Amino acid sequence: MSREARLVSVIIPALNEEKVIGKCLEALVRQQLPRDLFEVIVVDNGSVDETLKVVRRFDDRLNLTIRTQPRCHISEVRNAGAREAQGKFLAFLDADCIAPSNWLQSAVSMLQSAGDMVLGSFCSIPENSGWVPRAWYGDMVKERRGPVSYVPSATFFISSKAFRSLGGFDADLETSEDFELCQRAKAAGYPVIAHSGLSTVHLGTVQTLSAFWQKERWHGNGVRSVLLRRSSQRGFMSTVLLTIYSLLSMTLTVLAIPAAIATGRVALLAVGPILLAGGAALMAARAAIRRRRWKYFFPHAALYVVYGTARTFALLGLGGKTDRRLEGSAQPLSDRRANVGREAA
């Protein structure tokens, strides 16, 4: 079967993924969907390890294409894969995610029967995960089903036609490109649906508080970028409100220091931390009621404190080192969006 006749194009961005991408590709070898119905496009963002060497080992087991898109945002790496794709449907998969054997078959069946939509699932955590991912992600795969605000780009399906009509991922964003595209998709009338059967195991799930901080600060950069250009996007408002609340609490904490010194009222130092901890406790209680899982209440509350402070730092443009894969992006956004439609047509 010719490449042009393939049903699905699986697009995998990669940057120094030698330890995990082999497992990702091995899972695609085991897909129930016949091999001649899908292609795999690995877009390398400038790896300096053995990533490409590992990928090439699958050349005779998959309909494999390797392209390079160095030194740019991961959203543009995904768009580069979409421009190369020939499938009727696009499946975006991260290099550190392991798909179940029915992943493609199930998604194709849903897309063919339901029409144009954004389809996907939230990722599952590895079995040996510690308290941080267990408290934060919990049973998210089962909880977030049906119509949702977004599905992550790590497990993301959409028709090529719909993707082109939307202009692809916003290549100006460091991160949160999946959320932003889903907001545009919903505004254009495309349903955004999560199905737990499409969940992949995310080997790169953050396991420590420091990694959690770094991830949330990084994601906050994407939200900040959207707000600077599109403050009307309502989908971002919940995280923005939480960030503003955290910022207020932190500001009061700082201002309380000279006030406590001037008045001698040491109790003033507790106002900001109490507000921050109280807000986190309310969010954790809400999650515990929804999940019916109270055993992670205190860990979840602690993580909300970290989440709020990390997002506050991102909103203020403070702290954190930009990942190598997030650099670049010199071409204007309007030109890049136009290219997604032109070159994939």
Cβ contact 95:193 at 8 Å: no
Contacts 24+ apart (CB under 8 A), 223-230: 223/176, 223/311, 223/314, 223/315, 224/314, 224/315, 224/317, 225/172, 225/173, 225/174, 225/176, 226/170, 226/173, 226/176, 226/180, 227/315, 229/172
Identify the residue with better confidence: 223 or 236. Answer: 223
Report pLDDT for 133.
Answer: 93
Give the pLDDT band of residue 281 (cuts 50, 70, 90).
confident
CATH number of this structure's domain 3-205+330-344: 3.90.550.10
Does residue 240 carry a pLDDT above 80?
no
- Which H/E stretch holds residue 191? none
Tell me the residue length of the chain. 345
Report pLDDT for 333.
Answer: 33
Percent of the chain scored above 70 by pLDDT? 86
As a whole number of angstroms, the distance between CA 259 and CA 261 comes to: 5
Q: How far is CA 188 from CA 117, 153, 183, 184, 313, in A?
A: 10, 19, 9, 6, 32
Question: Domain segments of the chain: what residues?
Answer: 3-205+330-344, 229-326
Report pLDDT for 317.
Answer: 78
Cβ contact 168:160 at 8 Å: no
Written as six digits, the tokens of 236 are 């971002």
**pLDDT digits over 282-341, tens only?**
888 887 887 777 888 898 899 989 988 888 888 777 755 444 333 333 333 333 333 343
As a whole number of angstroms, the distance between CA 130 and CA 55 comes to: 30
Written as six digits, the tokens of 238 are 């919940």
Give the pLDDT band of residue 236 (cuts 50, 70, 90).
low
- Which H/E stretch holds residue 68? strand 64-68
Report pLDDT for 2.
Answer: 47
Q: Is 0.95 surpassed by the pTM of this model?
A: no
As a whole number of angstroms, the distance between CA 225 and CA 223 comes to: 5
**Lateral strand order in the sheet of 118-120:** 64-68, 38-44, 8-14, 89-93, 155-159, 118-120, 192-194, 146-147
Report pLDDT for 227.
Answer: 63
Of 172, 182, 205, whose CA–CA distance to 74 is shortest?
A: 172
Mean residue pLDDT across the chain: 85
Report pLDDT for 233.
Answer: 54
Written as six digits, the tokens of 83 are 């421009």
Of 94, 82, 138, 95, whose CA–CA distance to 120 is shortest?
A: 94
Give the pLDDT band of residue 44 (cuts 50, 70, 90).
very high
Report pLDDT for 230.
Answer: 55
Report pLDDT for 223.
Answer: 66
Strands (E), 69-166: 89-93, 97-98, 118-120, 146-147, 155-159
Bridge partners (DSSP) of residue 120 are 156, 194
Give the pLDDT band of residue 51 (cuts 50, 70, 90).
very high
Does residue 91 carry a pLDDT above 80?
yes
The whole-number average pLDDT for the span 200-207 is 94
Give the pLDDT band of residue 220 (cuts 50, 70, 90).
confident
Residue found under tokens 């993580």? 303
Report pLDDT for 296.
Answer: 83
**pLDDT digits over 154-177, tens only?**
999 999 999 999 999 998 888 889
As a whole number of angstroms, the distance between CA 311 and CA 221 comes to: 8
Of 135, 235, 136, whose CA–CA distance to 180 is shortest?
A: 235
